[in-house]
Amino acid sequence: MSESRPRILVPGKINQRILDRLPEMFETVRIERADVDLVTPEMADVAGVAVSGRLPVDLMDALPHLEIIGNFGVGYDGVDVARAAARGIAVTNTPDVLTEEVADTAIGLLLNTLRCLPQAEQWLRQGRWAREGAFPLSPLSLRGRKIGLFGLGRIGLAIARRLEAFAVPIAYHTRTPREGLAYAYHSSLRDLADAVDTMIVIVPGTPSTLKAVNADVLAALGPQGVLINVGRGSTVDEAALVAALQNGVIAGAGLDVFENEPHVPEALLTLPNVSLLPHVASASVATRNAMSDLVVDNLKAWFSTGEALTPVVETPFRRNSRKSV
């Protein structure tokens, strides 16, 4: 393995800016998808991976000299970070650079869901305003609502700051309360749902959050309840959500993420009381460029200074002191 030109594996699709910038310091190795069967003996000296999405454990383990995994995104549930840590492999993500964009999208999705703005635009585009008259009044409004945030990390705080401008009460649930905040804290998700009528989900996809928003939580939101999810699809029990929307258990939902992306259940597509986006919360050119730059800059920093810029908390390694397994 050449120290001057480390080899970086890119499995599957990734932002073009990453591919354009990797040659600044690295030799890029491409495979069509994240599949261990595509790894050849000539890839044994690969020292880093740049990945968008899932990196299977068997692919990770097929790279004996792997030092660092640059994950494109804040969430890194597609990487088995425990296995990476056990092998002394650093994992990085892309925090901060997408915070404001995702928070903006969350507010937009909330307003779309409450005020039926996408449906109103289609009413106009289809000529129905001229033929049939005014678009029907939206049954819901942001006025008088109580907002609960499930998750209050960087993005959650950015969403809360925006909500303050709407003069709505804000509450939240996290594992432990955050100090110095005026927002009401609830020690359980069910307690939060009991206290609010609108829940915004912005937690990572982990075993502890798997289907955390279940039928019980949805029922606690009440018949005027609204659920917004810009975190991970795995956090919401999708079947329970569909049933709640169909049966009037809650009034509406706005979703940017789903359990089995890019496949969205037909039942959700046909419901009139949902607003659906194709996982685009951070999907602007400016933000995706910033995310791409951070992926590459993490890799460059690791091989030039021995320390990544934004390692995830589970892998706080330095290159010259990491263990190899």
d(CA 158, CA 163): 9
What is the band of 309 on the pLDDT scale with cuts at 50, 70, 90?
A: very high
Per the annotation, the verdict on 65 as an active-site residue is: no
Burial bucket for residue 325 (CB in 10 Å: 0-12, 13-18, 19+): exposed
Residues 6+ apart with CB under 8 A from 247: none
Mean pLDDT of the chain: 96
- 90-92, strands of its sheet edge to edge: 27-31, 7-11, 48-51, 68-71, 90-92
pTM: 0.93
pLDDT value at residue 322: 61
pLDDT value at 72 more than 90: yes
pLDDT value at residue 321: 76
Helix (H) or strand (E) holding 301: helix 285-305
Among residues 7, 87, 232, 322, the one annotated as catalytic is 232
Per the annotation, the verdict on 232 as an active-site residue is: yes
pLDDT value at 324 more than 70: no
Per the annotation, the verdict on 179 as an active-site residue is: no
Q: Which residue has the tokens 């730059």?
A: 293
Among residues 279, 307, 314, 319, the one annotated as catalytic is 279
User: What pLDDT digit, counting tens, does each position of 211-259 carry?
Assistant: 999 999 999 999 999 999 999 999 999 999 999 999 999 999 999 999 9
pLDDT value at 325 more than 80: no
What is the DSSP secondary structure assignment for residue 143, as one 8-state letter?
T
204 three-class SS: coil
pLDDT value at 98 more than 60: yes
Domains for the chain: give ranges and CATH numbers. Answer: 7-96+285-305 (3.40.50.720), 99-276 (3.40.50.720)
The arithmetic mean of pLDDT across residues 22-29, rounded, is 98
- Phi/psi at 24 (nearest 5 deg)? -60, -30
Q: Is the peptide bond before 41 cis (omega within 30 degrees of 0)?
A: no
Share of the chain above pLDDT 90, in %: 97
What is the band of 320 on the pLDDT scale with cuts at 50, 70, 90?
A: confident
CB 290 within 8 A of CB 263: no
Residue 113, amino acid: T
> And the tokens for 220?
């606690």
154 three-class SS: helix
Burial bucket for residue 110 (CB in 10 Å: 0-12, 13-18, 19+): buried
The arithmetic mean of pLDDT across residues 97-113, rounded, is 98
Nearest to 223 by CA among 167, 149, 139, 166: 139
Relative to beta strand 170-173, strand 184-185 is parallel
pLDDT value at 85 more than 50: yes
CB 140 within 8 A of CB 224: yes
Among residues 128, 161, 261, 318, the one annotated as catalytic is 261
pLDDT value at 1 more than 60: no
